[in-house]
Amino acid sequence: MGAHQQLIAINDDLNQFHLTNRYVSMILGVVEGKLVNLYTGAAVPYRDDFGYLVDDAFRVQATTAGEHSEHCIEQLRQEFPEYGRGDFRGPAVTILQSNGSRITDFRYAGYRATNGKPELEGLPSTYAGESKADKSDEASGTAAIDDAAETLSIDLRDDLTGLTATLNYAIFRDEPVIARSVRLTNGGSEPVIIERLASCNLDLPDSDYTMTEFVGAWARERTPRTQPLHPGVQSVASMWGASSPYFSPNAIFARPDTNEDQGEAFGLAFVYSGNFDLHAEVDAYDTTRLQLGINPEGFSWRLAPGESFQSPEALLGYSAHGLNALSHTFHHIVLDHLTNPRWARRERPILINNWEATYFDFTEDKLLELARLAKQAGVELFVLDDGWFGRGKHARVNDRAGLGDWIVNPDRLPEGIAGIAENINAIGLKFGLWFEPEMINRASDLYEAHPDWVIATLGRDSAVYRHQYVLNFANPDVVDHIYATMHAVLSSANVAYVKWDMNRFITEAYDATRSAEHQGELFHRYILGVYALYRRLLAAFPDLLIEGCASGGSRFDMGILAYSPQIWASDDTDAVERLSIQYGTSAFFPVSAMGAHVSITPNHQTGRSESLAMRGAVAMFGTFGYEMDLTRLGEGELAEIAQQIAFFRKYAPLLHNGDLYRLRAPYDHRQAAWMTVSSDRRHAIVGDYVVLGVPNRPKSRVRLRGLDEDALYRVTSLSRLEIPDDDDDEVDSIAGATPGDAGTVRGSIPDGVAVVRSGGELMHIGIDDTNIGPDFAARIYLVDRLDEE
């Protein structure tokens, strides 16, 4: 055996590589020059030679290693399959060469194994940081930075073109996740055109999987849809120029009997916000090829001699214990290895946003009135949404004008942004501001000065969405200008938070600053420009909290999350709809990533009326805030909001940093439930919801997860978000309670009453929730280990 990192074992003689931690193994080998995947799944022990895993049954198919080759190219589980060499499934790479050929032959050329995980140039990516083991071992003083991952880089070379593909595999020490990306370098003498480059190709030996995609549209984003794999291609993709609300750049591939609690599953997630393609292809021999990368449709990239192209990162996660465990894995990766560490596990400010309170119709007095009431209730941050900018005939008083002119409208805010920020600060709130940096109205000073900065195809009309157009962020001059104008606003005032919106997709894609052969680069260059602006703003204002948004949740992906620790999950603020949206989003994204607000009733999107208690109990499984006109509420409702805020502030660390378990899916519109559990299993908080009540309802119990079987827990039942008195008199049968002594409460636990139950009872028998309320009702259970008290 040769080099041996802790997580990567390498047999130099056989060119075999085994990436493994305690949870997952990926074994790679080289067969007749091709890099192949010998196994990916649950961790297996090291062995010197895994060569027996190479399929050598010979079928009448192409070989690429000469007449005496023992292997068919279509049978090898290739890591980097190419176009046109006898493997007729979708290739991971297609290169157009100057003679018109698309044939390449990438062969193994060497490797490097390193500690840590390098950044990807220009792109968001996961970072290594310190492993959990070393964090808990701080006393020894030996904690090494960057020890939470190790990276294997394998070079594959195509001799004829001089191209090298470097396949990067970073395995995390504490999570069953391998981060993958590819870097193509042109070491030849001719330019080439990259037409397709998958970030991850994974060939699996059978096809006994379901694919769960996350689908939707505006106001109903990310609903899971599960179907068995079948021969042919099953795919989700985006051509919108953003990850989109229609399909998400993440999917789950699970064994058919896998459920939330048990069974095997792979998760694939793209750390990218532009056009993507994620698909599974099942061939005639029931093998499966999973691919995730930039959508090849509409993409090409000219690579001149000496240049490199870096693909975005794809995360491959594995679970041997069901879908909740797979979600925990991705949540930990997001919080500990992707989110800006300044915010990752830090408490987020409870905010009020004026959008649904005023839309475009506000004065500074109105905003300050709203802020004063919000402050009285305990809100911490006031966010001024759309409508504060543009001047004169370009004033943003509706959605027809002003985008692009990031300069305050003095008719609305006479003392400028500095003035309103000071006034809000004087009330005792932080101040936040809305921008839509990538967009422009034709009715704007910016358009009058730079009509050529809009993405448009010369000689053709441009599609219009919401009276606006997209700025060409592939042009660095545009990004420089927007950066300068945003920087001027943000440095002129005390702005703690920015809401970065994006309300239309890219059409007539054409980059007027580049020649014909570079036109396929626009979509990717555009999103690189977006990321560059994020990075520059965060470098200039490191403490700024930027919340991502795109007509609600139209760009909710791990790329944006690398810069925006939270993303507005949907413009649909109806609590019932939010149960579905947040439930689906939680498959890959933690609670603290999901922007969620309590809004007015009847709800503006659905017209439905729901109790304040229900609205609060759903929004608290998100970043939590308010988006309603508090001046229209009575004293009772304002008092309840103050209680909700105090409640959320107390339980936010548990809600945001605990592990989320999905208990009951909301998609039958009857009931839903989820819970978060602290990592030491001592505390949990459960949200249990009735969507539509059922007459003469059958008995119903919600079974909890993640607790210690033998420990005793006090379970406090609440019908609204109100911190309970810690008065032992209200606890039913705590004294001398044993797992067999469940107390006298029969049926559902009444509001405000606490009982004692063992973890085993709570997980296997469950809590009776037959009678917790009529339509649109919520029950919260606070679950605390008794030895805590």
Using the minimum distance from each CB to ligand DGJ, give the nearer residue, 394 or 524.
394
Among all residues, whose Cβ is closest to ligand DGJ? 386
Q: What is the dihedral of CA 410, 413, 416, 420, to 10 degrees?
A: 180
DSSP string, 492-525: HTT--EEEE-------S---TTS-GGGGGGHHHH
Token pair for 157:
């070379």
Between CA 540 and CA 543 the distance in angstroms is 9
Residue 203 within binding range of ligand DGJ, rule CB under 6 A? no
Token pair for 100:
């018109």
Among 223, 300, 485, 503, binds ligand DGJ (CB under 6 A): 503
Considering the complex, what minimum distance in angstroms separates the CB of residue 362 from ligand DGJ? 12
Beta-carbon neighbour count of residue 150 at 10 Å? 23
Residue 406 within binding range of ligand DGJ, rule CB under 6 A? no
Considering the complex, what minimum distance in angstroms separates the CB of residue 496 from ligand DGJ? 18
**Angle, vertex CA 281, rays to CA 19 and CA 258, nearest 5:** 65
Per CB under 6 A, which region of 208-216, 548-556, 678-686, 723-731 contacts ligand DGJ? Answer: 548-556
Between CA 270 and CA 182 the distance in angstroms is 13
Among 276, 523, 563, 568, binds ligand DGJ (CB under 6 A): 568
Considering the complex, what minimum distance in angstroms separates the CB of residue 568 from ligand DGJ? 6
H or E element in which residue 534 lies:
helix 522-540
Q: Which of residues 431-470 bind ligand DGJ (CB under 6 A)?
A: 434
Residue 577 within binding range of ligand DGJ, rule CB under 6 A? no
Per CB under 6 A, which region of 306-314, 549-557, 660-668, 739-747 contacts ligand DGJ? Answer: 549-557
Using the minimum distance from each CB to ligand DGJ, give the nearer residue, 424 or 762.
424
Between CA 83 and CA 69 the distance in angstroms is 19
- The structure tokens 């890099």 sit at 35
Considering the complex, what minimum distance in angstroms separates the CB of residue 359 from ligand DGJ? 8
Residue 549 within binding range of ligand DGJ, rule CB under 6 A? yes
Considering the complex, what minimum distance in angstroms separates the CB of residue 394 from ligand DGJ? 16
- Strands 288-294 and 276-282, sheet pairing: antiparallel
Per CB under 6 A, which region of 3-11, 216-224, 545-553, 671-679 contacts ligand DGJ? Answer: 545-553
Among 147, 385, 557, 761, binds ligand DGJ (CB under 6 A): 385
Nearest to 331 by CA among 250, 235, 272: 250
Considering the complex, what minimum distance in angstroms separates the CB of residue 353 from ligand DGJ? 7
503 in a known ligand binding site: yes
Phi, psi dihedrals of residue 483, rounded to the nearest 5°: -60, -45
- Strands 163-172 and 149-158, sheet pairing: antiparallel
Between CA 321 and CA 258 the distance in angstroms is 8
Considering the complex, what minimum distance in angstroms separates the CB of residue 397 from ligand DGJ? 12
Between CA 310 and CA 184 the distance in angstroms is 7
Among 551, 582, 592, 599, binds ligand DGJ (CB under 6 A): 551
501 in a known ligand binding site: yes
Q: Which of residues 250-309 bind ligand DGJ (CB under 6 A)?
A: none
Residue 510 burial by Cβ neighbours in a 10 Å radius (0-12, 13-18, 19+): middle
Site string for ligand DGJ, 341-370 (x = CB under 6 A): --------------x---------------
183 in a known ligand binding site: no
466 in a known ligand binding site: yes
- One-letter amino acid identity for 409? N
Whether cis (ω within 30° of 0) applies to the bond prior to 602 is: yes
Residues 6+ apart with CB under 8 A from 740: none
Please state the residue numbers annotated as binding site for substrate: 218, 385-386, 466, 499-503, 549, 571
Binding site for ligand DGJ (CB under 6 A): 355, 385-386, 434, 501, 503, 549, 551-552, 568, 571
Please state the residue numbers annotated as binding site: 218, 385-386, 466, 499-503, 549, 571
